[in-house]
């Protein structure tokens, strides 16, 4: 987009006729300016960065899945330098959640299991993932349960269908993440972080 704008910059534009959507007859210069501005902002957010951004998005019925999100973040931080965003998405506006997904290099999502299913905010998360924009991003899943525990697998299956690169099997645990379950969650975050750092190293040294 930015390269295309450079090519049309000298032109005296009368109409903008996109392949779909409205034809613009007025303020053509302002529309081009805003398109360039938004493109530059997108490049700044999604371009190569020294520190990977990881979104840990969760919904928590009794606080257990929220506690697990913090433990996974703890493990991530132990494995290396990451920009970690732990976010309760239950009431988060779609625009804010979409911006977090756009800026993230990886996403880990958590949900308790209720009625053998994940919760509605996770389906909003799935709807906002763009298989073109987000294809290949690392993705994981976790969650608390009382009886059956299907939610994390549902999350991971949806991530896989949306062309994300799913990490291992999801982490599930019964009720509160205390005792040995705490270290399992921390270790999951640690291994997820190590995987991201390894992929970053492979990208920098493709011949190795």
Q: At 127, give phi and psi (nearest 5°).
A: -65, -25
What is the per-residue pLDDT for 45? 74
Do 42 and 65 lie in one domain? The reply is no
Do 94 and 35 lie in one domain? The reply is no
Residue 123 near residue 59, CB atoms below 8 Å: no
Which residues form the domain of 38?
2-46
Residues linked to residue 117 through DSSP beta bridges, in sequence order: 114
Residue 204's pLDDT band (cuts 50, 70, 90): low
Which of 92, 89, 98 has its CA nearest to residue 119? 89
Do 69 and 143 lie in one domain? The reply is yes
Asked whether the CA dihedral 199, 171, 116, 176 is positive or negative, the reply is negative
Residues linked to residue 171 through DSSP beta bridges, in sequence order: 142
Do 66 and 145 lie in one domain? The reply is yes
Do 38 and 78 lie in one domain? The reply is no
Do 92 and 21 lie in one domain? The reply is no
Residue 205's pLDDT band (cuts 50, 70, 90): low
Do 35 and 68 lie in one domain? The reply is no
What is the per-residue pLDDT for 127? 98
Do 191 and 125 lie in one domain? The reply is yes
Q: Give the pLDDT confidence of 135-153 residue by residue, as tens digits.
A: 999 999 999 999 999 999 9
What pTM was estimated for this model as a whole?
0.83
Q: Give the pLDDT confidence of 161-181 residue by residue, as tens digits.
A: 999 999 999 999 999 999 999
Do 38 and 105 lie in one domain? The reply is no
Do 34 and 105 lie in one domain? The reply is no
Mean of pLDDT values over 83-98: 97
User: Does residue 200 carry a pLDDT above 90?
Assistant: no
Residue 71 near residue 181, CB atoms below 8 Å: no
At residue 68's C-alpha, the angle toward residues 65 and 71, to 5°, is 160
Q: In the chain, how many domains are there?
A: 2
Asked whether the CA dihedral 125, 178, 71, 160 is positive or negative, the reply is negative
Q: How far is CA 123 from the centre of its chain?
A: 13
| Packing angle, helices 180-204 and 64-79, rounded to 10 | 40
Do 42 and 57 lie in one domain? The reply is no
What is the per-residue pLDDT for 39? 85
Q: Which CATH number is 61's domain given?
A: 3.40.50.360
Do 33 and 65 lie in one domain? The reply is no
Which of 65, 74, 37, 85 has its CA nearest to residue 174? 65
Instruction: Give the rounded percent of residues in the chain with a pLDDT score beyond 70.
Output: 96
Q: Give the pLDDT confidence of 27-66 residue by residue, as tens digits.
A: 888 989 998 898 888 887 777 677 999 999 999 999 999 9
CB atoms within 10 A of CB 72: 29
């Amino acid at each position: 987009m930015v390269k295309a704008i450079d090519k049309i910059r000298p032109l005296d534009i009368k109409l903008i006729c996109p392949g779909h959507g409205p034809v613009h007859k007025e303020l053509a210069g302002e529309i081009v300016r805003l398109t360039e501005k938004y493109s530059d902002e997108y490049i700044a957010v999604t371009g190569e960065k020294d520190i990977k951004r990881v979104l840990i998005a969760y919904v928590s019925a009794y606080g257990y899945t929220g506690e697990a999100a913090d433990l996974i973040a703890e493990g991530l931080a132990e494995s290396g330098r990451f920009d970690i965003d732990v976010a309760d998405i239950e009431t988060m506006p779609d625009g804010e959640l979409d911006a977090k997904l756009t800026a993230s290099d990886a996403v880990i999502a958590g949900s308790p299991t209720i009625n053998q299913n994940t919760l509605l905010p996770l389906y909003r998360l799935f709807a906002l993932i763009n298989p073109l924009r987000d294809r290949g991003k690392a993705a994981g899943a976790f969650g608390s349960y009382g009886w059956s525990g299907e939610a994390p697998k549902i999350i991971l299956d949806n991530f896989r269908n949306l062309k994300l690169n799913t990490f291992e099997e999801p982490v599930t645990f019964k009720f509160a993440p205390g005792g040995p379950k705490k270290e399992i969650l921390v270790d999951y975050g640690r291994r997820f972080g190590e995987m991201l750092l390894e992929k970053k190293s492979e990208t920098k040294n493709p011949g190795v």
